[in-house]
Structure 1
Amino acid sequence: MSEIDIAGDEPLLALLLAAEPDDVCLLVDYITDSGKGRISLAGTVKEFLHQAREDKTFDKDVLALLVHELRMFGGNSITNLFRSGGVTYKEIATDVLSHVGGKSTDSDDLGTIELKVLQRLLDKAWDKMSKEARAQFAEKFGESDAANPFSFTHFLNRMGFGHAATLDVTSFISASLGANLLGASAVLGAEMLMGRLAGLALGPIGVALGAGLAGYSLASPAFRITLPCVVQIAYIRQKGMQPRLPGGKP
């Protein structure tokens, strides 16, 4: 499959090659609609990706195809008439950021754009959270005490700059999106939904995130794919930046 055009997205391919298979599985689910297929996705491509997902075996060819399909979903039909490889992942991430009401600058790298998407989603969810849900969020992700009460704005500003909760909150957002868009049963087996994050993603905070999404055009087939994929790739990127323990886990 060397003819697959993913020019400009070689770094994304390398990121996915280094990712844990369980984390890539969710990307395949978004692209293939959990194996049910999509009108704009060739049946042979769907079967190829779904089989790799079942086997949890993602080699370079499989991942190049996955990146290619994401690029095709990210570009509109007019763009794709002139660009056989679709649009680059950075263009997709920038478009998603714009769609959720954020702004990028020319100096933003991909990691920064992804974090801005996460911040916008959290900000929208915070508006929808009850007082109890906000307290739960602060307890799980904040670093507050009586002398320094939790500040949501301060929390957002610290994301990506050494904040200890960045990976956890990214995991939570991705799990919540999976539960909202694919159904809880589709993501319950994923590593990100195990342990204490399961209750958050399926509980009041996850519901608030889903309510926040209602303000966006999720009726758009492409956006229902690109938004959660950008969030999941952000999770994979953040996870890859964490120090490794002896057992290989961050």
Structure 2
Amino acid sequence: MKFRTDKDLELLRYADNDMLEVLVNYLTKDKDGSERLTESLTGNEEFKAARGNYRQVWKLIGAELQHFGGDTFVNLFRGSGVVYREILTDVCKKLSVKTDFSADIVSIEQALLAKLFADSWEKMSEAERQAIRKQLKIDGSLTSGAALTAIISAIRLGGFMSYQVAMIVANAVAKALLGRGLALAANAGLARMIGIFAGPVGIAITALLTIPAISGPAFRVTLPAVVQIAAMRQQLLKKEEDIF
């Protein structure tokens, strides 16, 4: 499967290798840890020659995701999959994410993260919510609903909170689906939030992946994959902010 030119997947060229490894695991491994029958990465000679240097084969990784996002028969006909925006849009629509799908890719990813955060918030205890509010520096006098609204608004605006939530959600998804979280050099506050959030997000994601109406084989790959890519993009955006 050839890589289809896609500006929204160019970030794979610059992403952290550990983060790319998580994405590769989503693309190549089933929930029981065995290789997916439909994956083509692990048998690719160029991929094997890279010996875990995933940046070196970022186009192969991108092509594999594009393949999962497209219809199998159509993929064979055109020799490539679909662009990332189409994959992200499909995931968002299946999850009833409300956003402008003609907006820039970061805004759509933030809307997805906000939706997953909101779903997880509903599954948290009051003590967990209070701990998250403290770490995110949300006014303690706000009601639970108002606090959630403030957090969602901040996620959609971008900046540091958007980065924090992206890391929290992506870590929880990895822990739920791969059995281990992200290899993050997080500060103490972010590390605490990651720990608090892992359970609720994991429960929410696991539930989504068992809904028959939306959880086909491709969706079980594309949902965690777009969450991981959204987190990688936020990570790169934060690095740019740190530089400038």
Q: TM-score, normalised by structure 1?
A: 0.81
Instruction: Tell me the CA shift for residue 194 of structure 1.
Output: 7.5
- Letter aligned with residue 5 of structure 1: F
Structure 2 residue 86 is matched with structure 1 residue 86: no
Residue pairs, 1:3-42, within 5 angstroms = 4-7=2-5, 9-13=6-10, 15-33=11-29, 36-42=34-40
Question: What is the distance in 1 between the residues matched to 2:156 and 2:185?
Answer: 19
Q: Which residue of 2 aligns with 1:56?
A: 53
Question: What is the distance in 2 between the residues matched to 1:113 and 1:45?
Answer: 33
Residue pairs, 1:69-84, within 5 angstroms = 69-84=64-79
Instruction: Tell me the CA shift for residue 213 of structure 1.
Output: 2.2
Question: What is the distance in 2 between the residues matched to 1:44 and 1:227?
Answer: 21
Asked if the contact 1:30/1:228 (under 8 Å) is kept, the reply is yes
Question: What is the distance in 2 between the residues matched to 1:121 and 1:180?
Answer: 14
Q: Which residue of 2 aligns with 1:97?
A: 92
Q: Secondary structure at the match of 2:80?
A: coil
Instruction: Tell me the CA shift for residue 125 of structure 1.
Output: 0.5
What CA RMSD, in Å, does the superposition of the two structures yield over aligned residues? 3.0
* Identical amino acids, percent of aligned pairs: 30
Instruction: Tell me the CA shift for residue 156 of structure 1.
Output: 0.3
Q: Which residue of 2 aligns with 1:66?
A: 61
Q: Secondary structure at the match of 1:40?
A: coil
1:165 to 161, 166, 172: 161
Q: Which residue of 2 aligns with 1:208?
A: 200
2:237 to 230, 241, 246: 241
CA, structure 1 residues 46+138, in 2 after alignment: closer, same or farther (shift >3 Å)? Answer: farther
Q: Give unmatched runs, 5+ long, in structure 1.
A: none
CA, structure 1 residues 43+69, in 2 after alignment: closer, same or farther (shift >3 Å)? Answer: closer
Question: What is the distance in 1 between the residues matched to 2:45 and 2:127?
Answer: 44
Instruction: Tell me the CA shift for residue 51 of structure 1.
Output: 6.3
- Letter aligned with residue 206 of structure 1: A
Asked if the contact 2:8/2:84 (under 8 Å) is kept, the reply is no
CA, structure 1 residues 33+199, in 2 after alignment: closer, same or farther (shift >3 Å)? Answer: farther
- Letter aligned with residue 159 of structure 1: I
Asked if the contact 2:63/2:81 (under 8 Å) is kept, the reply is yes
Q: Give unmatched runs, 5+ long, in structure 2.
A: none
CA, structure 1 residues 80+103, in 2 after alignment: closer, same or farther (shift >3 Å)? Answer: farther
Asked if the contact 1:172/1:192 (under 8 Å) is kept, the reply is no
CA, structure 1 residues 50+121, in 2 after alignment: closer, same or farther (shift >3 Å)? Answer: farther
CA, structure 1 residues 47+211, in 2 after alignment: closer, same or farther (shift >3 Å)? Answer: farther
CA, structure 1 residues 56+81, in 2 after alignment: closer, same or farther (shift >3 Å)? Answer: closer
CA, structure 1 residues 73+194, in 2 after alignment: closer, same or farther (shift >3 Å)? Answer: farther
Q: Secondary structure at the match of 2:160?
A: coil
Question: What is the distance in 2 between the residues matched to 1:154 and 1:147?
Answer: 9
Question: What is the distance in 1 between the residues matched to 2:47 and 2:142?
Answer: 52
Structure 2 residue 124 is matched with structure 1 residue 129: yes
Q: TM-score, normalised by structure 2?
A: 0.82
Q: Which residue of 1 aligns with 2:133?
A: 138
Question: What is the distance in 1 between the residues matched to 2:113 and 2:235?
Answer: 15
Instruction: Tell me the CA shift for residue 144 of structure 1.
Output: 2.1
CA, structure 1 residues 81+24, in 2 after alignment: closer, same or farther (shift >3 Å)? Answer: same
CA, structure 1 residues 77+119, in 2 after alignment: closer, same or farther (shift >3 Å)? Answer: same
Question: What is the distance in 2 between the residues matched to 1:164 and 1:235?
Answer: 12
Residue pairs, 1:186-197, within 5 angstroms = 187=181, 190-191=183-184, 195-197=188-190
Question: What is the distance in 2 between the residues matched to 1:141 and 1:46?
Answer: 43
Structure 2 residue 113 is matched with structure 1 residue 118: yes
